[in-house]
């Protein structure tokens, strides 16, 4: 703003001065050459003044940035380090009697997120952590990744306390993919290979393909050399996340932590990324936070968190997906996907599959499930076009073959859904290519009386 004001003032002054000189030359018999010479020298003077005005602006900006940088440099790290190297054998992680608080309240009381919290993550297994927002999921994984410093208790990797390890030992063995990926002003290739300067283009491209961002990159001018912008300003939310996932595929660390890293993806893309992650994470110790049932269903153990009476995280239940479903935790798993699911209510759900259009063919089945059933959807006319992934409705359509492969509809296995479709093979064959690409829709209605 200062630069704009000073520039405008100089330009206006230059114009006024030139008009005054021209007037003086006309009325006082001045020569045209004198006017031109004066104008030439006056322009040089103005340019010099502009230069000094620019220096003042840049100096002001530099001093402001220096003050901010000084504030950052004066912040003291609370992370505790030791002098030992991490000798990782299998990757077992333990949290024992851990307490953590972010800050003190105005009255001086500590606001604990974790208090005497204990949990174990078995080596070489995948553990999913679920629970409502604010129950401490990210705090737990952040503490394990040494992003947060716990105030009490211990966190160990293969019985080695993280507080005794050298700086950099935990990041050397732990790949931590946070909710918001740090994207730097640079090219796609530079961001994917960040932290791996010796990575080849083939390695970068392979990681991008696994993360399902390769096609998006190739559509841009410059391809892998295209600039992503500061903080990923040239990317969509989904592309931003996939870039972070691609960076994860560049690593081969024995412990992997994933904190809702694919929440912005559609169901089909997430299913494809999950397949790549499953392959990449095989035989590694994996902790992932997720909300979609399709993401956590294959975990070796699911831990459901909730807040206790003090607002601290506690384990409400844990086990495999099937164990929780059998023990009554299935309703909570479904409520994890959609908090509007009413507690302890059975809904009679009528599921309609429209292949092509409703006039072409319809398949109707009926089953008893713990489902929200979307109370407002009382009649067929109110159904609209819905498709279900996990327990959530999306107002969109997908290719039915992709739907079968990813088994996105929990009411039917892929094989059963495929059998339903095969019954109506003639209808499918008679449909146009455009219709067969994206005309499988389903909806729900009706409460069991």
Sequential pLDDT tens for the chain (449 residues): 555 565 666 667 666 766 666 666 666 665 666 666 666 666 777 777 777 777 777 888 888 888 888 888 888 777 888 899 999 888 899 999 999 987 665 555 677 899 999 999 999 999 999 888 888 899 999 999 998 899 999 999 999 999 999 988 999 999 998 888 888 888 999 989 888 888 889 999 999 999 889 988 998 888 999 888 888 888 888 888 889 899 999 988 999 999 887 777 776 777 788 888 888 988 899 999 987 666 777 789 989 888 888 888 899 888 887 777 666 555 455 545 444 444 433 333 333 333 333 333 333 332 222 233 333 333 333 232 233 333 333 333 333 334 333 333 334 444 544 454 454 444 444 433 333 333 333 333 222 22
* Distance between CA atoms of residues 170 and 325, nearest Å: 35
Q: Which helix (H) or strand (E) holds 271?
A: helix 267-280
Rounded to 5 degrees, what angle do the CA atoms 314, 131, 282 make? Answer: 100
Residue with tokens 């024992």: 96
Answer yes or no: are the C-beta atoms of 352 and 367 closer than 8 Å.
no
Of 267, 273, 274, 292, the closest CA to residue 408 belongs to 267
Q: Mention every residue, 6+ apart, whose C-beta is less than 8 A from residue 85.
A: 165, 166, 169
CA 275 remoteness from chain centre? 17
Q: What length does the chain have?
A: 449
Q: Which helix (H) or strand (E) holds 67?
A: helix 32-73
Can you tell me whether residue 397 is helix, strand or coil? coil
pTM value is 0.62
Of 360, 157, 191, 176, the closest CA to residue 251 belongs to 176
* Distance between CA atoms of residues 415 and 422, nearest Å: 10
Of 210, 310, 223, the closest CA to residue 262 belongs to 210
* Distance between CA atoms of residues 100 and 141, nearest Å: 12
Which residues face 312 on adjacent strands? none
Strand ranges (E), 105-254? 110-121, 126-130, 152-157, 160-161, 174-177
Can you tell me whether residue 154 is helix, strand or coil? strand
Q: Mention every residue, 6+ apart, whose C-beta is less than 8 A from residue 95.
A: 117, 118, 119, 120, 140, 143, 144, 153, 154, 155
* Distance between CA atoms of residues 308 and 304, nearest Å: 13
């Amino acid at each position: 703003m200062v630069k704009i004001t000073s520039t405008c003032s100089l330009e206006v002054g230059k114009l006024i001065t030139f008009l005054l000189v021209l007037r003086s030359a006309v009325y006082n018999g001045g020569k045209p050459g004198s006017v031109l010479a004066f104008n030439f020298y006056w322009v040089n003077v103005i340019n010099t003044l502009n230069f000094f005005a620019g220096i003042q602006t840049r100096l002001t900006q530099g001093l402001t940035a220096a003050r901010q940088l000084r504030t950052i440099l004066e912040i003291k790290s609370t992370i505790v380090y030791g002098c030992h190297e991490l000798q990782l054998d299998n990757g077992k992680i333990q949290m024992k009697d851990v307490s953590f608080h972010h800050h003190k309240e105005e009255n001086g009381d500590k606001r604990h997120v974790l208090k005497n919290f204990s949990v174990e993550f078995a080596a070489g297994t995948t553990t999913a952590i679920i629970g409502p927002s604010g129950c401490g999921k990210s705090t737990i994984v952040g503490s394990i990744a040494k992003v947060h410093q716990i105030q009490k208790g211990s966190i160990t990797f293969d019985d080695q306390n993280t507080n005794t390890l050298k700086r950099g030992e935990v990041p050397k063995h732990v790949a931590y993919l946070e909710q918001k990926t740090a994207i730097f002003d640079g090219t796609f290739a530079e961001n994917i290979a960040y932290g791996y300067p010796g990575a080849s283009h083939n390695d970068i491209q392979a990681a991008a393909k696994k993360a399902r961002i390769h096609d998006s990159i190739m559509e841009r001018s410059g391809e892998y050399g295209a600039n992503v912008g500061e903080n990923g300003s040239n990317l969509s939310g989904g592309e931003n996340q996939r870039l972070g996932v691609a960076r994860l595929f560049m690593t081969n660390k024995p412990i992997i932590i994933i904190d809702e890293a694919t929440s912005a993806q559609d169901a089909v893309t997430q299913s494809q990324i999950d397949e790549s992650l499953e392959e990449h994470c095989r035989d590694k110790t994996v902790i992932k936070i997720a909300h979609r049932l399709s993401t956590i269903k294959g975990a070796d153990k699911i831990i459901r968190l909730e807040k206790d009476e003090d607002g601290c995280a506690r384990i409400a239940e844990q086990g495999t997906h099937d164990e929780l479903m059998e023990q009554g935790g299935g309703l909570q798993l479904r409520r994890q996907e959609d908090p509007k699911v009413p507690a302890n209510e059975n809904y009679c759900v009528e599921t309609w599959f429209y292949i092509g259009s409703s006039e072409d063919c319809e398949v109707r089945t009926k089953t008893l499930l713990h489902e929200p059933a979307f109370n407002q959807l009382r009649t067929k006319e109110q159904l609209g076009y819905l498709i279900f992934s996990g327990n959530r409705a999306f107002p969109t359509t997908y290719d039915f073959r992709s739907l079968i492969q990813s088994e996105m509809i929990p009411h039917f296995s892929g094989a059963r859904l495929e059998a339903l479709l095969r019954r109506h093979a003639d209808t499918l064959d008679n449909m146009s290519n455009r219709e067969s690409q994206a005309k499988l829709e389903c909806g729900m209605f009706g409460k069991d009386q």
